């Protein structure tokens, strides 16, 4: 420094690795968003309190509405109402994603539900919730995929109805010769 006490000190820091990390993160987020938006199923994410943080257009289509993100009024699922497969009301706090956020291991029969939309339409779904954990194993949120199985359920019901009709017809035809031979005597 000069004798008068004034001078300039320059400090240089190489931030190229930080810039590269930011670019890599942005690219990763773009890939995630593309996958999130392109998958042909309802996908949504919740934080540990069950607040809906994000969802894709398929979720809006299934739910029949676009829930407000991060709202305490919109927890665990964006559907208007939920029901168990037998038709009983399912509180959102008992939904598969809510149970996953509590760390429960869910059996296959606990993953089916009926989503009710505001317009009254109901859709049968299979839920596939996954708790998201940090590096210490603590649950930090969850992501859920809902697969619409309504058409499959309708086909199963139609097949069961057809089988009952066939069984009923076969039963009548099998009895007819016996009844006919008894009435001739």
Are the C-beta atoms of 127 and 146 separated by less than 8 Å? yes
Dmax of the chain from CA atoms?
137
For the entire predicted model, the pTM comes to 0.72
Does the pLDDT value for residue 87 go beyond 90? yes
Burial of residue 107 (CB within 10 Å: 0-12, 13-18, 19+) is exposed
> What is the distance of C-alpha 175 from the center of its chain?
50
Burial of residue 56 (CB within 10 Å: 0-12, 13-18, 19+) is buried
| Average pLDDT for the chain | 86
Report the C-alpha gap between 26 and 11 in whole angstroms. 28
| C-beta atoms surrounding 152 within 10 Å | 12
- Using alpha carbons only, how large is the chain's radius of gyration in Å? 29
Are the C-beta atoms of 56 and 36 separated by less than 8 Å? yes
Q: Mean of the pLDDT values across residues 144-149? A: 94
Paired tokens of 12: 């240089």
CATH topology of domain 16-148: Beta-Lactamase (3.30.450)
Report the C-alpha gap between 77 and 129 in whole angstroms. 11
Does the pLDDT value for residue 28 go beyond 80? no
- Mind listing the pLDDT tens digit for each residue in 12-21? 777 777 777 7
Q: Does residue 76 or residue 32 have the better pLDDT?
A: 76
Q: Mean of the pLDDT values across residues 100-124? A: 93
Report the C-alpha gap between 113 and 83 in whole angstroms. 6
Report the C-alpha gap between 18 and 110 in whole angstroms. 45
Are the C-beta atoms of 142 and 97 separated by less than 8 Å? yes
Do β-strands 130-133 and 139-148 pair in parallel, antiparallel, or remain unpaired? antiparallel
Residue 138: band (very low, low, confident or very high) from pLDDT cuts 50, 70, 90: very high
Range in 12-26, 94-108, 114-128, 166-180 the model is least confident about: 166-180
Burial of residue 135 (CB within 10 Å: 0-12, 13-18, 19+) is exposed
Does the pLDDT value for residue 83 go beyond 70? yes
- Mind listing the pLDDT tens digit for each residue in 53-75? 999 999 999 999 999 999 999 89
Q: Does residue 24 or residue 181 have the better pLDDT?
A: 24
Conformational region of residue 173, where left means phi above 0, alpha means psi within -120 to 50, and beta covers everything else: alpha
Does the pLDDT value for residue 101 go beyond 80? yes
Does the pLDDT value for residue 96 go beyond 70? yes
């Amino acid at each position: 420094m000069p004798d008068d006490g004034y001078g300039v000190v320059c400090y240089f820091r190489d931030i190229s690795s930080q810039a590269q990390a930011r670019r890599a993160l942005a690219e990763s987020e773009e890939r995630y968003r593309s996958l999130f938006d392109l998958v042909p199923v309802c996908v949504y994410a919740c934080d540990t309190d069950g607040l809906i943080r994000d969802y894709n257009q398929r979720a809006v289509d299934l739910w029949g509405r676009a829930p407000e993100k991060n709202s305490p009024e919109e927890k665990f699922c964006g559907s208007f109402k939920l029901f168990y497969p037998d038709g009983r009301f399912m509180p959102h706090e008992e939904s598969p994603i809510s149970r996953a956020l509590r760390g429960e291991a869910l059996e296959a029969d606990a993953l089916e539900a009926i989503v009710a939309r505001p317009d009254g339409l109901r859709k049968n779904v299979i839920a596939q919730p996954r708790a998201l954990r940090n590096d210490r194993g603590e649950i930090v949120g969850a992501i859920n995929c809902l697969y619409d199985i309504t058409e499959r359920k309708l086909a199963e019901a139609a097949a069961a109805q057809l089988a009952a009709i066939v069984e009923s017809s076969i039963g009548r035809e099998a009895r007819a010769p016996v009844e006919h031979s008894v009435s001739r005597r």
